[in-house]
Structure 1
């Protein structure tokens, strides 16, 4: 595992461009195998999850090429094969191959997906949807076998809980099924709209994305005619907004969809951050005195669970006690003991996070337990005096496009080292 080395205590300034959305990309790549033609994606984030998904594609004889943010995928010679368990277990989003393979071949065999350990994230809603469409599911010693010998058929599916993953997987399975599938209590995240837009541009018939009822009329073929440009990553944007408010002397973020960030930017404004929001950019000036706030994470358009960790170090700059309640993943608190090592006055009481005003942070050796926890430690390291060493930095690299290059472009002092202490590029 790599380590991120940060020399903190410097004020940052400049401008960067936000990359394509990770949470779209990791669904779009599996979705590509549903196409009967080669496909191309633009503004693809250069993250470890993309490279692991490319390994999975190659195991199915699906060749891909990733250069300068453009990803070409050719599924025309796809074959059924055993998928590499190491790559599958490296990221949770590998479960999208369940829906995609089921839609393409009417069967799928995968080991249970891995990814961040942030509390219970069962796939029962995915399985429920597949069964409703006529599939049989057998779980055996960590492997999921899904078959639909007579093909998939349209169905009415009610999600017992709002789930982005289950909503997307249901769409992937239904898009080439026979008949119409209705998904009720569907998630409404922008990344779902992005995936549906890609599929519709290839000839799919998906309606209602962005609402809680989605209708999918199955089609026989999907053919790509144009490059699909991935939407900007609202979580990356929120992470840099937190960083800019905490240690910035004027930072501009480009490639932003402000509407996707309203629940987050409204909280920054409530704190006293003076944001200048444009059509597709946000400027964050040097922040003055900030006030404590209360945050409750909710499904979109509410405050994203993926942003409760990156905002935590910023809350330490505010006068008073800020409160975070994560209703999506209450156990997402692995960053708390690591932040405490750096002197941040933060604690938990029955899954409620309390952040007190902290005058000064100091560098320390900490561990990135997962992507967003790592982002939280990264921001704290930039705020702290001295050197911070974040081990398991691969978790940060999994989710943030060219993170070291972007930070240093803002005049930070950051680099990555391998296990032997040798500096490496991302």
Structure 2
């Protein structure tokens, strides 16, 4: 290795030193490269195998690498969904002593995919809409903490399946800036307009390549992020006025926020001089209401919608088999040991990389409901597990680490296909599927 490397790392992994830092990233040997689907980037990015996991290596200037590294660490501390920063490596030189660009190293987010990898022959409007909705929620979360993104786009986002929806994770924080005093309306609107224009361009690019369904309208879908963002922002931060005798609406507002997945730190409540009108405004503390409850009760870490679905199953189990002497925590422990863990253990080892355990459990519940509907009987869980593994899971592509074909082109179908479980699932249906049986 030529030169003297300067490594700033958030995690210690000596294997970093074994990588060929004296070569330009584009010249790294195939033995180091993990061929994963990736989005469009202004910088060269390559996925690299390291100590049994995968990292993303991005060549950029030293200043930009260090700035983005620190920003990602800050966002992680604020519990914003984003990629995990690993290191900044500077001082690189080639074998002749010529300087090479610094690199930012991040850890590949398991079970995540760029938007272009979430379809095969054509992107359907409902899939694109769910991606945009996920990005709108991420943008709202960022703005609440005072983060100005500056380059909002589908390309700068990774998506993970989340119980029929998607969860968005920030990938590129190069243009971002955190304002401790919060963002002005102008800054928020700027981010929102950038998002609308970028999304329209990305989807129109797919249209030009014939990679969307015939009924696809890129402009209409790109406009959706504006409407979805404004609805979420108003619900999370807006004032609400109502007559004094309707104070039950305070609890109703809190319930709506919890249903969106947000907890609140405090409520600002004001009354007028006559005492006939009440105004309330919530102060949102963070997203992840259901995630936190699920972790507290079971120790299972899942996406927000997955957590909501698992909690519904837990609540249904408690209602059906609850014992007077057991509290909520004890019932949750029993549900994990008698329902959730047996399902996870039943997944064959060679299929465990298909989906996250929480997503598998969610899809299993849906599959069991469809089986029960089609057969007009309550299908036992064990029977549903076997059918789901053989009929659905075994035919999916691994999403823990999506490997491309040797050509480097992404061709295998990833998202919803005719006959897939999710294609038949309406996320607007009630969360407790067993109420329909």
Same fold (TM over 0.5): no
The structure showing larger relative contact order (alpha-carbon pairs under 8 Å, at least 6 residues apart) is: 1
User: TM-score, normalized by length of structure 2?
Assistant: 0.30
User: TM-score, normalized by length of structure 1?
Assistant: 0.30
Which structure is larger by alpha-carbon Rg, 1 or 2? 2
User: More helix by proportion, 1 or 2?
Assistant: 2
